[in-house]
Amino acid sequence: MRVINFLKKSLKFIFHISNTKKIIYDIENIDTCANEIQSEKIRLWFKKILDILEIKTVINGNVKEGNYLIISNHSSWLDIIILGSIFKTTFLSKIEVSKWPIIGKITTAVDMLFINRGEKDAAAKAVAGISEFLSNNRNVTIFPEGTSSGGEKLLKFKPRLFASCQETRSPVQCVIIKYPHKNKKIHPSVPFVRGNSLFLNILKVLFQRDIIADIIITDLVNTENKDRKTISNECYEIIKEKIENNVS
């Protein structure tokens, strides 16, 4: 039965991804002023993937009105799908993601911001891009750890990108994503770190029927009169406490 379910899910997944071209076409032909329509289409695209993967989400907290910088711990490519299904947001990601066989397809249509870590002034360009989006009432999501930690621990945040909050006077929305599994800290099929095969990881996730994502949406963090390092440290402590102490 698990094999049959896996095959059904795989076919639905492939069909949905192949249909992304139509979604991209629709988005590109929306009036550029209709950001709300564009954002909702993208959010529903992500939500559909979660439904196909049969991932149950448990959300604690509410999505706030207004624009803000969204940050989260980072364990897997699933984090992008989950955050994209909850928030109307674009993402900042490493440029390699644009070449991924699945996530990469949608990035061309969602104004995703990319950072080329090998490029001169990469961080400054990323801050400028985030600030522009926030100034135009577009939420932006970043993973301040800079890479996927695999869910075992929270890596230190890189404070540079929090400068966008100073420039735009935007608050920060901290989000904590957990994938509990029996007596383990994280479901063994979820972690995706550098060096892993995205294709094989997707297959592992498709084969599972018991993945649960616990999402905690905290109160907004005020950034007024705070430097980027202070903001970064405050957000780090908020997320770290809820991960380590299993706070919901």
Amino acid at 32: T
Phi-psi region of 162 (alpha: psi -120 to 50; beta: other; left: phi over 0): alpha
Count CA atoms within 13 Å of residue 220 on its CB side. Answer: 16
Residues 111-134 as b or e (16 or more Cβ within 10 Å = b): bbbbbeeeeeebeeebbebbbebb
Of the chain, the end-to-end C-alpha distance in Å amounts to 34
Q: What is the pLDDT of residues 50-75, one digit of tens each?
A: 999 999 999 999 999 889 999 999 99
Instruction: Return the pLDDT at 33.
Output: 44
Q: Write out pLDDT tens, residues 125-154.
A: 889 989 998 988 889 999 999 888 888 789
For 76-104, the pLDDT digits (tens) are: 999 999 999 999 888 887 777 777 766 67
Contact 91, 109 (CB under 8 A): no
**Spatial contact of 76 and 192, defined as CB atoms under 8 Å apart:** yes
225's tokens: 């009169």
What is the per-residue pLDDT across 215-236, written as a single tens digit (0 to 9) for each?
999 999 999 999 999 999 999 9
Single out the residue of 36, 148, 24 nearest to residue 93, CA to CA: 148
Residues 6+ apart with CB under 8 A from 99: none
The answer to whether 92 touches 161, Cβ cutoff 8 Å, is yes
Considering only residues 114 and 171, tell me which one the structure prediction assigns the higher pLDDT: 171
Q: Strands across the sheet with 89-94, in order?
A: 56-60, 212-221, 172-178, 69-72, 139-142, 89-94, 113-115
Output the pLDDT for position 24.
58
pLDDT for 32 equals: 46
Chain segment 4-62, per-residue pLDDT in tens: 888 999 999 888 877 776 665 565 555 444 567 777 878 888 899 999 999 999 999 99
Question: What is the chain's mean pLDDT, rounded?
Answer: 86
CA distance 80 to 87: 10
